[in-house]
Amino acid sequence: MARLVMKFGGTSVADIDRIRNVAHHVKREVDAGHEVAVVVSAMAGKTNELVAWCRAASPMHDAREYDAVVAAGEQVTSGLLAITLEGMGIDARSWQGWQLPILTSDAHASARILDINGAELIKRFKERKQVAVISGFQGIHKDTGRITTLGRGGSDTSAVAIAAAIQADRCDIYTDVDGVYTTDPRVVPRARRMDKIAFEEMLEFASLGAKVLQVRSVELGMVHKVKIFVRSSFDKPEDIDPHGTPPGTLICDEEDIVEQQVVTGIAFSKDEAQISVRHVPDRPGIAAAIFGPLAEASINVDMIVQNVSADNATTDLTFTVPASDYQRSLDVLGKSKSAIGFDRIDGATDVAKVSVIGIGMRSHAGVAADAFKALAGRNINIRAITTSEIKFSVLIDAAYTELAVRTLHSLYGLDK
């Protein structure tokens, strides 16, 4: 007997037939004797519809009202799944964020979960094997009692937080892919599904644009040591042996992975834009002068490269922003031109970031050097480089993205 959280996204609950399919997945685990909490998203398309209405009502809408509106999507799905489960003879009930409660911060539309009381759920597991069907994505602000939501992909975070609160043995994320791959299989057909990946690595993957899981759900899993299992919601429930090992990827502690490879996978993102600020005075506070206004405009700056100046007077500073924020970034910097004192700004939107990830890098030298050599061998020019303990990223011309990813995927022995 195990205690499981099962999370299903919008595609998996898009209509009554798919909700019934989800119910069969749940029934399988219940029949196997497990205690089950299910976390559901809104039906596919519903959140978009509700968001569009909010925007049409007023472009500058109150985030607290936005949250009340969009949270209705998950409320509908949790009730419908509970009804479906009960129709199959399974004791179940729905829980809204405010009912458990799932207490959050007051950052409406992107609130953080502060506390979840799992006692009532555990009591009901023990007393009557009741399945808890919980609305993902939503919570309640601890002081005001108003509905909050966690931001896009927030149901993943709900699921992992609930798994932590009820000390679940595993948090199964049912999604439209059957696990986490060494890189995007559409780019590299020889990409492999990983059986296991460490939290730290998954964090890099998620941050770098692999859209399998919301970043915060991985952070939460790491902090609370919740085993997260990414698996396919398209497998037929009746084909799955509840006592066997289904296909999927387990996101777990580093020490739970016996054979750790040096490089785990290659991530990439084409939604990047590069901005180079030329000949800025090389004085204390110059970075703050540049990045302060960008932060105030809520522009997410990623790779930052600043070289030591050759003349001790001026330097060039290069960084990347999301491509969608490129023009806005130029505008913000243009307004601060006199405060920063730069000469000119160069920019490019046809750039891509390719990242090599692996915990093993910590103890292996020369991993990045191998990459630089291989890319040079393909005549791929590297515009900028950043590194962290367990990954390094290169900024290249977007046209070479696929070639670079394939080259590195082979280089580190990740091909099937």
Give me the residues that bind its own copies (CB under 8 A), please. 16, 19-20, 50, 53-54, 56-62, 64-69, 71-73, 75-76, 78-84, 86-87, 93-94, 96, 98-99, 145-147
Token code pair at residue 47: 């959140």
Contact by Cβ (8 Å): 358, 385: no
Contact by Cβ (8 Å): 25, 174: yes
Q: Which is nearer to its own copies, 24 or 278 (CB)?
A: 24
Side-chain-side CA neighbours of 241 within 13 Å: the count stands at 5
**CA angle 168-249-191, nearest 5°?**
170
What is d(CA 260, CA 358) in angstroms, rounded to the nearest whole number?
9
Q: Which is nearer to its own copies, 16 or 223 (CB)?
A: 16
Q: Which is nearer to its own copies, 64 or 278 (CB)?
A: 64
Provide CB contacts within 8 A for 361, sequence distance 6+: 262, 263, 367, 389, 390, 391, 392
Q: How far is the CB of 165 from its own copies (least distance, A)?
A: 18
Token code pair at residue 79: 């009730």
> Most distant CA pair in the chain: distance in Å?
77
Q: Which is nearer to its own copies, 84 or 264 (CB)?
A: 84
Q: Which is nearer to its own copies, 57 or 288 (CB)?
A: 57
Q: Which is nearer to its own copies, 67 or 282 (CB)?
A: 67
Side-chain-side CA neighbours of 391 within 13 Å: the count stands at 22
Q: How far is the CB of 324 from its own copies (least distance, A)?
A: 24
Q: Which is nearer to its own copies, 99 or 410 (CB)?
A: 99
**CA angle 167-169-173, nearest 5°?**
105
Q: How far is the CB of 331 from its own copies (least distance, A)?
A: 25
Q: How far is the CB of 53 from its own copies (least distance, A)?
A: 6
Q: How far is the CB of 86 from its own copies (least distance, A)?
A: 5
Q: How far is the CB of 163 from its own copies (least distance, A)?
A: 23
Provide CB contacts within 8 A for 97, sequence distance 6+: 71, 104, 135, 138, 139, 140, 147, 148, 158
Instruction: Provide the Cα torsion 279, 280, 284, 285; round to 10°.
Output: -150
Token code pair at residue 297: 């405009």
Q: Which is nearer to its own copies, 136 or 358 (CB)?
A: 136
Q: How far is the CB of 151 from its own copies (least distance, A)?
A: 17
Among 3, 68, 14, residue whose Cα is nearest residue 41: 14
Q: 3-class DSSP state for residue 203?
A: helix
Range list of β-strands (E), 86-214: 92-95, 102-104, 113-116, 131-135, 138-141, 147-149, 170-175, 196-198
Q: Which is nearer to its own copies, 81 or 166 (CB)?
A: 81
Q: How far is the CB of 43 from its own copies (least distance, A)?
A: 9
**Type of residue numbered 148:** T
Q: How far is the CB of 99 from its own copies (least distance, A)?
A: 6
Q: Which is nearer to its own copies, 145 or 284 (CB)?
A: 145
Contact by Cβ (8 Å): 117, 165: yes
Residue 143 parent element (H or E):
none
Q: How far is the CB of 296 from its own copies (least distance, A)?
A: 24
